A and B are shown apart, each in its own frame.
Chain A
Amino acid sequence: NAGVMQNPRHLVRRRGQEARLRCSPMKGHSHVYWYRQLPEEGLKFMVYLQKENIIDESGMPKERFSAEFPKEGPSILRIQQVVRGDSAAYFCASSPLRTGGNSPLHFGNGTRLTVT
Chain B
Amino acid sequence: GDSVTQMEGPVTLSEEAFLTINCTYTATGYPSLFWYVQYPGEGLQLLLKATKADDKGSNKGFEATYRKETTSFHLEKGSVQVSDSAVYFCALIYNFNKFYFGSGTKLNVKP
**A positions within 8 Å CB-CB of B:** 4, 6, 31, 33, 35, 41-43, 45, 48, 55-56, 91, 93, 95, 98, 101-110
Contact = CB atoms under 8 A, between A and B. Distances in A.
Contact of B103 (A33, A41, A48): A41
Chain B interface size range: 20 to 34
Given A41-B104, A107-B44, 18 more contacts: A31-B97, A33-B99, A41-B103, A42-B103, A43-B44, A45-B101, A91-B43, A95-B97, A98-B96, A101-B96, A101-B97, A102-B32, A102-B51, A104-B34, A105-B91, A107-B45, A108-B43, A110-B42
9 contacts: A42-B104, A98-B97, A101-B95, A101-B97, A102-B93, A103-B97, A105-B99, A106-B46, A110-B43
- Label chain B's interface by main secondary structure: strand
A95 to B, nearest CB: 6
Interface of B: 32, 34, 36, 41-46, 49, 51, 89, 91, 93-99, 101-104
Nearest to A108: B43
B93 A101 contact: yes
Contacts of B44: 43, 91, 93, 105, 107
